[in-house]
Amino acid sequence: MLAPVTEIFCDIDDFCKDYLKNQSGFLLPNPDRKRDREMQMSLSEIGAIIVLFQMSHYRTFKDFYYGCILQDAKNYFPNALSYTRFVACKATALMMLTAYMLSKAGNETGLYYIDSTTLSVCHNKRIYRNKVFKGLAARSKSTMGWFYGFKLHLVINHHGEIMSFCLTKGNASDGSVVRKLMANLSGLGAGDKGYLGQKLADDLQQHGLRFITKVRKNMKKKMHSAFEKFFLGQRGIVETIIDQLKNLYHIDHSRHRSPLNFLVNTIGALIAYAWRPNKPKIKMNKLQNNFCALIQN
């Protein structure tokens, strides 16, 4: 296995210890069930396996678990559960992994991009037969055509690090989540034409974030500085990250048999990307050159 198994497990395990310690005070007592019963595998081991799957070349979790965890990586996970039992226990790691992903958020650099991507849960011809996501997913149309599923919204900094994220139904507009995702950020932000709106830009400006987008052909062009034009032209970095999430970390597939496992797969892919050593980013020499051009102008 090419992934740093030991480093990933130790980092998740250290976080998991603090997480379990802090959440124990918020659990309500239930006399009918014994809480905190120890499993054969720890919660950190379950979380590490989920993240390692997203980093692997396997396309199905079943093949990964049988071929890697129960064979090649048996020394790392000597108390591995059976495949069916592990699948049943995956959902128990959802909240811990979500909190862990939030702890891996990037640094505030003052330069941010926002974009969204579709996450289909089934083929279009099987929409009316899909019962797993009935009442949860929605049908909508993107630039690539019709789909049935959800939207993943991402905010990244210019170093390619994920700052915040959220999931919405497929028919939710891109502008509906911008205020929440970028509420605590200040500096300069950029998005595509789906985020057009003077009211949105004014609201973000009041919180210290200047938000810019390109305009449609039939609209009057906006005045931007030399650096803002350069920054807006580099917006493809967020699309590159989305492409890596889909093609390298398998965040998008239509084999989910449980909404909770769909969420686990999504969070696991985001964590796998957060561990990526060489993330797409804007080269600093380009930033410096454009800062100089901005000062001279």
Q: Decide if pLDDT at 11 tops 90.
A: yes
Q: Distance between CA 290 and CA 188 in Å, rounded?
A: 14
Q: What is the pTM of this model?
A: 0.88
Nearest CA to 139 out of 111, 116, 118, 160 is that of 118
Residues 70/73/74/79 CA torsion (nearest 10 deg)? -80
> Residue 295: pLDDT band by 50, 70, 90 thresholds?
very low
Q: Decide if pLDDT at 226 tops 90.
A: no
Tens of pLDDT along 138-179?
A: 898 888 888 999 999 999 999 999 999 999 999 988 888 999
- Percent of the chain residues past pLDDT 70, beyond the cut: 90
Nearest CA to 234 out of 133, 113, 108 is that of 113
Tokens of residue 267, six digits: 């969070």
In the beta sheet, which residues pair with residue 138? 149
> Residue 96: pLDDT band by 50, 70, 90 thresholds?
very high
User: Higher confidence at residue 108 or residue 24?
Assistant: 108
Nearest CA to 238 out of 144, 109, 152 is that of 152
H or E segment and range at residue 10: helix 5-23
Query: What is the pLDDT averaged over residues 211-233?
Result: 82
The count of other CB atoms within 10 Å of the CB of residue 280 is 16
Residues whose CB falls within 8 Å of the CB of residue 43, separated by 6 or more in sequence, listed in order: 16, 20, 92, 93, 96
